[in-house]
Chains A and B, each alone.
Chain A
Amino acid sequence: AQSVTQPDIHITVSEGASLELRCNYSYGATPYLFWYVQSPGQGLQLLLKYFSGDTLVQGIKGFEAEFKRSQSSFNLRKPSVHWSDAAEYFCAFNDYKLSFGAGTTVTVRA
């Protein structure tokens, strides 16, 4: 079955440190892949997306993600985390609908 998996439920990172959130997908063809961020009590905001072409995708807020077909992964990274990055992050792929991973909650400590 087509799906996305986010192996990490919760990650704690120090402010200024780097962040990497994992996402693995299971899909027959090259999927359309997305990362969304959700601040507490808010809707979801699109960070970045991948369809084809360059496998390193730049997004908003200093985030980037790399598509690796050989590993079926689309990991999200940020070189230096800010306290405002504390949120829940969802990986998703697009079929006729968006299928979301379970989400990774990021806590940023001072």
Chain B
Amino acid sequence: SQTIHQWPATLVQPVGSPLSLECTVEGTSNPNLYWYRQAAGRGLQLLFYSVGIGQISSEVPQNLSASRPQDRQFILSSKKLLLSDSGFYLCAWRSLAGIYNEQFFGPGTRLTVL
């Protein structure tokens, strides 16, 4: 069966520090991968998605970047965090094998920038 992991689960970082959040998927090949942010009291905002290794699409301009160095690994990064980067970050994967194409979500990372 497929599983998706995210770490760390929680993170407290000072403004201006770098960031690296990791997401890995097991049990599937060639998934589409997604990074979402959920700010307090707000819905889900798609940040990045990737259809393959090294292929990243950005949905909104921001202080963050994403990379996909391996088929089942998706990394969210920042060189200098802002207060506004605080939120709950969710990674998701989707298989193109089935017709329904639902996304499966990881447990999330709670990021607090102070």
Contact = CB atoms under 8 A, between A and B. Distances in A.
Given A97-B34, A100-B43, A103-B43, A43 B102 contact: no
A34 B102 contact: yes
> Interface on chain A toward B: helix, strand, loop, or mixed SS?
strand
Interface in B66-93: 88, 90, 92
A43 B106 contact: yes
Interface residues of B, number: 21
B99 interface: yes
Contact of A102 (B43, B100, B103, B110): B43
Interface in A21-69: 32, 34, 36, 41-46, 49, 51
A37 B34 CA distance: 18
A42 B108 contact: yes
Contacts, number: 45
A60 to B, nearest CB: 13
A44 B90 contact: yes
Chain A, interface size category, equals 10 to 19
Contacts of B102: 32, 34, 46, 49, 94
A74 interface: no
Contacts of A97: 34, 46, 49, 59
Given A41-B108, A43-B106, A43-B108, 10 more contacts: A34-B102, A41-B110, A42-B107, A42-B108, A44-B44, A49-B102, A90-B43, A90-B44, A94-B101, A101-B43
Interface of A: 32, 34, 36, 41-46, 49, 51, 90, 94, 97-98, 100-103
